[in-house]
Amino acid sequence: MNKTRLNYWLDLVIALAFGLSALSGLPFLFMGSGGYQGGRNPAHLQAWLGLARDTWSDLHTLFSLVLIAGVVFHLILHWKWIVCVTKEMFKPRPRESRAVEACPVHE
């Protein structure tokens, strides 16, 4: 698999994981605080879309971990470019030469 195709699929996984993580976080806005709380929380067994709070929490955690792994892999995949651009940004040089692209996009 070439790097462009790998990058496309990785970005797609990151985007899907972000969307699913955001959507799975929404029930926490509507379900109130979690836990039994010694009987002071009558909504502790409340379900949203047929799933309990603990299930939403597990899904949210899973999607977030996939998102984190995708971003870490994305950074590893582009590490040489990140280092190159960082060096170029902090290298002192005349203004007119800044427009030249010094770091290759594709390796």
Highest-scoring range by mean pLDDT, 39-48, 74-83, 88-97: 74-83
DSSP state of 36: -
The pLDDT value given to residue 33 = 72
Q: Can you tell me the mean pLDDT for 46-59?
A: 87
Residue 36 in this model has a pLDDT that exceeds 80: no
Q: Rounded to whole angstroms, how far apart are CA atoms 56 and 47? A: 9
Residue 38 in this model has a pLDDT that exceeds 70: no
- For residues 86, 65, 37, 33, the Cα torsion angle rounded to the nearest 10 degrees is 70
Q: Can you tell me the mean pLDDT for 27-45?
A: 71
Burial class (CB in 10 A: 0-12, 13-18, 19+), 48: middle
Question: Taking a C-beta distance cutoff of 8 angstroms, is the pair 56, 48 a contact?
Answer: yes
User: Domain boundaries in the chain?
Assistant: 3-76
The reported pTM is 0.76
**Count of CB atoms situated within 10 Å of the CB of 45:** 9
